[in-house]
Structure 1
Amino acid sequence: MWLTQILDRNRRWRGEETALVDGRGAVTWAELDERVHTRAGALLALGLGPGDRVLLLAPERVEVFEAYFALARIGAVAVPLDPLGPTEEAATVARHTNASAVVADLSAATWAHDLGVPLVLDLAGPWGGTPELPPYQGTWPLVRPDDPLAVMHTSATTGRARGVVWDHRSLMQVCLAWSAAAGPAEGATLVNCAPLFHSSVAMSFAYMAAGARIVLPRAAAPQPTLEAVARHRATHLWLDPESLRHLADAARAGDHDTGSLREIVYGGAPLPWEVYRAAARVFGCAFRQAYGAAEAGGHFAMLAPHEHPSADTAPEVPPVLGAGRPLPGVDVRVRRPDGSEAATGENGEICVRSDSLMRGYWGEPRATAEAMRDGWLHTGDLGRTDETGHLTLGGRQIDVITSSGRDIHPAEIERVLLSHDAVADTAVVGRRDSAHGEVPIAYVVPVTAAARPTPDELSRLLSAELAGHQPAPLITFLDSLPRNRSGKVLKTLLRTMAEEH
């Protein structure tokens, strides 16, 4: 289907150009097509076919893309998981999806044999332990646009992860919408710092569809990323805001050639003003934000480079970097709790309608019905729009704290705390309270331990910036916030910490 059409097209048009690079080598589009052809034929010979679920447990390397393409070619369903995640979680997903096989880096994930999956294949070796098969000569299975392509699991920042079912049409819509709005230039090279088991992998496919070369750093860390940018003269970079923070610090402290960068694309979490300003000054390139959700097929809104404020200004009140405008083919509405459409500038739940929406949560019809109503995805994100359709986020609906009958939005408190020069990171959660129902707890990471602000200092700042009826949060300092590999704060863990303290 469409994913393999990307491969067919680029093999014909740019066969000898490099398609993928990782820390071990590179493959051209012609080589990638040949390897995918062999892999797909081997999968069919092993008895796999349309609709079979196949777990992917591997680090960021070329073979993961090969697996995505090969599974798509035979109509099988990829179920990517974090190879560094708990074994119990992988076993649970294997049972829940009734997986037929697992493709894993067996040199690292030796426990893949313990998942109870019938067929265990080594990502780097001849799949299934069989000798390399001759090129497949048969007819490929018929794969339709609405056939399932992948089960992408949510980040589980607020609870249990759910399996989001993408079909082939969903990925096509996301990639075409991004290309129409961002217009990746001919000859682009994207350094992908995002995990390949996450819905953010859609960004790499969008750039591959435009013929871009994808580079995977040898490790998910600032130094290897900067080395990859310099070595491959990368034009684009894709990462989360927390990674951007550390990357800018490393680039400022060392001598790195990043002059080839034209755009830094970021997403997965809001980008604090100070992180953006520091990164913009260090790299001197354009910035583009992607906002989305796994349930929406990935990204569905974009803040274009010209919509970012100048990093050279020093505003008295740091601006909020909005989520931008919907991509082509995407409708976004902000709705009140009763389902009616919110007025311009009024906060409500962000709802999305497009051909990129998920088919549902795997094996969870009730949860699917709650999220998908009348053709609209209810994201659980809060936000508002202005007269031009520009979207500004206001946090997660589940994160709203109700104290003495009033709603407190953690994102507002976090924004003010981050405006303090001595605050590097922060997250606000609610803790149960017998008198008020809930009270806010602010976890704060100082820039340095020596220059740590006092709780009274931060409380005065909040009192000056926020409505007086909001109770001041209890300030607790941490060395770092717990985050998943996609850079999102694990507020479930912070809530547990808040209850225990």
Structure 2
Amino acid sequence: MWTGMGPQWSGTGARTVMELVQQAGERFPGAPAMIFEDGLVVTYARLLDQAERFAGYLRERIGPGERVAVMIGNRAEHMIAWLAIVATRGTMVSVNPAAKAHDAGHVLRDSEAIVAVIDPEHRRLIEQLRAECPALREVVVVGEPEPDGLSGVAAGTRPLRFSASDAARSDITNVYYTSGTTGPPKGCMVDHEWWLRTVDVLLRRVPSGPSDRQLCCLQFFYSDPGHQLLECLQVGGALVVMRRFSVSRFWDVVRDHGVTQILSFSSIPVFLLKAPPHPRDRDNRVRVARHLAMPPHLHRQIVDRWGFPWVEGYGITEGNLVAGMPLAYAEAMVGSGSIGIPVPELSLRIVDATGRDVAPGESGEFLVKGPGMFRGYLNRPAATREVMRDGWLHTGDLGRADSRGFLYFMGRSKDIIRRSGENLAAAEVEDVLRSHPRILDAAVLAVPDEERGEEVKAYVLPVAGESEATLSPDEIVAFCAERLASFKVPRYIEYRTADFPRTPTMRIQKELLRQERPDLVAGVWDRERHRVGRRA
């Protein structure tokens, strides 16, 4: 069902990330590589020059495979530092700029980073952590003005020209710490081929050129902005960068900077849709939005309101791109809930708990195998062996395929609630809750129950101006009962007055919700009693 995509590696023929960037700098020197929402423009030539200068500085400080932690927000020096580190055959370790002592300390210690490159506001935090991080030898603080904030430390050193870099395709370029559900986050290692595979598939899926501009509304420390930048560099386009995601600024940035492609995740379109309609909603140049985790019941509204296709996809850091909706089927599949079909050159199986392949329509775990997979978890060979068995990556994600081969994501295997012998997906209940016009977002967790094994607890974040006083638990329960089987209707409901803890891709961090207090139902509304639940 993939038509007109071209053969493998026709999207990019670069052998390494360095080669892609160096060739782009030569082909499009004066073109904008990054356009920030506040007006800062970084050309291809300037991006390459600054990265080569900082690479020259790092060349004397790190060796192949040694790790550099980067804790920088959405400013140009993040990308400059990344490219410089990789050019020296080092490995960048991304640290969330919102991290505090506990989580940042874990990443620094576990990765054994020897250099840290940070924003000025993180100087005090990193200095506090140095005593716990014996491997950390040097801290580089980004200066001003942007994008020349690393030029000061690089002054007097000879640049490392990317054309002379001896980076190898198999070098580990990045370590991304994935959220842990049963333990601390694990460092997921990726190499040049991982990046180039992503660029190749995405450019074959949505052919692009110098007139294209991609919107980046995510934080740079996540992996997606990196491949967005590389996609743009490959074809001569530009990355339009929001410093932070904002509903109120989103469409102004899209219109003002001529955005033609959007990458979107999780709750982003829900937030956008719940903003009041605007006469200029369709005043945009966007050709397509690639989205992960589109709420099926809102898909048609989203497409109709802004006037361009929002196509589903699915991927994980360990397995790279896994599935996507072909553009030829985008309109017909609106609202279906399908994440598309396996991307080219990828093998995918759906298996039950015994490892048996299931029939179409039956649910099971996604197993994938193909080019550009992750290289394992840093310092965790046992964890790597647990997910990589017989050449197949066991994703831990549940789904099914219909008779035509379209795939449907059904949730994490660890996000299935087992209530009185019935299995239900938290994601299904969340979709229903989010469809309520006065609920902005929701999260559903399993909580222990003596009689039923597990019960369903829902956290709801009402839209502005709403609260438990105006949107009662009884109303929420009745809304769910009209749309779900009785065993799926939440028993416990807790209201949020502040936003959920989130990942950089706007996914709710459920593991942090579970850690908020020992008893997750103490003081919480209980539909079986119509009063507060048991006290701790």
- Aligned equivalent of 2:4: none
Q: Deviations over 1:217-261 (max 9, x none)?
A: 233223343332222211112232323333344573586784122
Residue of structure 1 aligned with 2:41, choices 26, 32, 35: 26
Shift of 1:129: 3.6
Corresponding letter in the other structure for 1:411: A
Residue of structure 2 aligned with 1:474, choices 467, 485, 492: 492
Within 2, Cα distance between the matches of 1:255 and 1:28? 30
Q: Is the 8 A contact 1:336 1:342 kept in 2?
A: yes
Report 1:325-344 matches (<5 A). Answer: 325-344=341-360
Residue of structure 1 aligned with 2:311, choices 277, 288, 291: 288
- Aligned equivalent of 1:5: 19
CA 1:199–1:185 in 2, change beyond 3 Å: closer, same or farther? Answer: same
Residue of structure 2 aligned with 1:368, choices 358, 362, 384: 384
| TM-score, length-scaled by structure 2 | 0.83
Within 2, Cα distance between the matches of 1:264 and 1:223? 19
Shift of 1:161: 1.7
Q: Is the 8 A contact 2:53 2:151 kept in 1?
A: no
CA 1:189–1:251 in 2, change beyond 3 Å: closer, same or farther? Answer: farther
Corresponding letter in the other structure for 1:473: R
Within 1, Cα distance between the matches of 2:396 and 2:190? 19
CA 1:460–1:426 in 2, change beyond 3 Å: closer, same or farther? Answer: same
Within 2, Cα distance between the matches of 1:356 and 1:466? 39
Shift of 1:94: 1.4
CA 1:141–1:212 in 2, change beyond 3 Å: closer, same or farther? Answer: closer
- Aligned equivalent of 2:418: 402
Deviates more, 1:435-444 or 1:274-283: 274-283
Shift of 1:360: 0.6
CA 1:449–1:157 in 2, change beyond 3 Å: closer, same or farther? Answer: farther
- Aligned equivalent of 2:9: none
Shift of 1:112: 2.7
Within 1, Cα distance between the matches of 2:58 and 2:425? 49
- Aligned equivalent of 1:102: 116
Q: Is the 8 A contact 1:349 1:383 kept in 2?
A: yes
Shift of 1:388: 2.8
Corresponding letter in the other structure for 1:59: G
Within 1, Cα distance between the matches of 2:208 and 2:368? 25
Residue of structure 2 aligned with 1:301, choices 323, 335, 346: 323
Q: Deviations over 1:239-296 (max 9, x none)?
A: 32323333344573586784122222222xx222454344323321221233111111
Corresponding letter in the other structure for 2:520: E
Q: Is the 8 A contact 1:187 1:212 kept in 2?
A: yes
- Compute the RMSD of aligned alpha carbons: 2.8
Q: Is 2:458 the partner of 1:449?
A: no
Q: Is 2:508 the partner of 1:484?
A: no
Q: Deviations over 1:351-373 (max 9, x none)?
A: 11112211111111111111111
CA 1:305–1:260 in 2, change beyond 3 Å: closer, same or farther? Answer: same
Within 1, Cα distance between the matches of 2:396 and 2:296? 24
Report 1:62-461 matches (<5 A). Answer: 62-116=76-130, 117-124=136-143, 125-126=149-150, 129=153, 131-136=155-160, 140=164, 142-156=166-180, 160-204=184-228, 205-250=230-275, 252-253=277-278, 258-267=283-292, 270-297=293-320, 299-309=321-331, 319-447=335-463, 449=466, 454-461=472-479
Q: Is the 8 A contact 2:341 2:407 kept in 1?
A: yes
- Aligned equivalent of 2:529: none
CA 1:452–1:409 in 2, change beyond 3 Å: closer, same or farther? Answer: farther
Q: Is the 8 A contact 1:42 1:127 kept in 2?
A: no
Deviates more, 1:340-349 or 1:157-166: 157-166
Structure 1: 5+ residue stretches without partners: 314-318
CA 1:219–1:453 in 2, change beyond 3 Å: closer, same or farther? Answer: closer
Deviates more, 1:273-282 or 1:12-21: 273-282
Deviates more, 1:101-110 or 1:135-144: 135-144
CA 1:339–1:439 in 2, change beyond 3 Å: closer, same or farther? Answer: same
Q: Deviations over 1:441-498 (max 9, x none)?
A: 1223344627955444444454454445657533333344442332111222333456
Deviates more, 1:104-113 or 1:170-179: 104-113
CA 1:184–1:289 in 2, change beyond 3 Å: closer, same or farther? Answer: farther
Corresponding letter in the other structure for 2:405: G
Corresponding letter in the other structure for 2:109: R
- Aligned equivalent of 2:64: 50
Q: Deviations over 1:76-131 (max 9, x none)?
A: 10101111111332222112111110111124544233342211112343468453
> 3-state DSSP class of the match of 2:23?
helix
> 3-state DSSP class of the match of 1:166?
strand
Within 2, Cα distance between the matches of 1:141 and 1:370? 35
Within 2, Cα distance between the matches of 1:138 and 1:241? 36
> 3-state DSSP class of the match of 1:103?
strand
Within 2, Cα distance between the matches of 1:5 and 1:250? 43
CA 1:126–1:12 in 2, change beyond 3 Å: closer, same or farther? Answer: closer
Within 2, Cα distance between the matches of 1:469 and 1:250? 33
CA 1:191–1:469 in 2, change beyond 3 Å: closer, same or farther? Answer: closer
Shift of 1:140: 4.2
Corresponding letter in the other structure for 1:292: G
Within 2, Cα distance between the matches of 1:83 and 1:418? 29
Q: Is the 8 A contact 1:241 1:487 kept in 2?
A: yes
> 3-state DSSP class of the match of 1:295?
coil
Identity of aligned residues (%): 26
Structure 2: 5+ residue stretches without partners: 1-14, 131-135, 144-148, 523-536
Within 2, Cα distance between the matches of 1:158 and 1:259? 44
Q: Is 2:512 the partner of 1:493?
A: yes
- Aligned equivalent of 2:52: 37
Within 2, Cα distance between the matches of 1:137 and 1:428? 51
CA 1:183–1:442 in 2, change beyond 3 Å: closer, same or farther? Answer: same
Shift of 1:134: 4.1
> 3-state DSSP class of the match of 2:507?
coil
Shift of 1:147: 1.6
Deviates more, 1:376-385 or 1:219-228: 219-228
> 3-state DSSP class of the match of 1:30?
helix
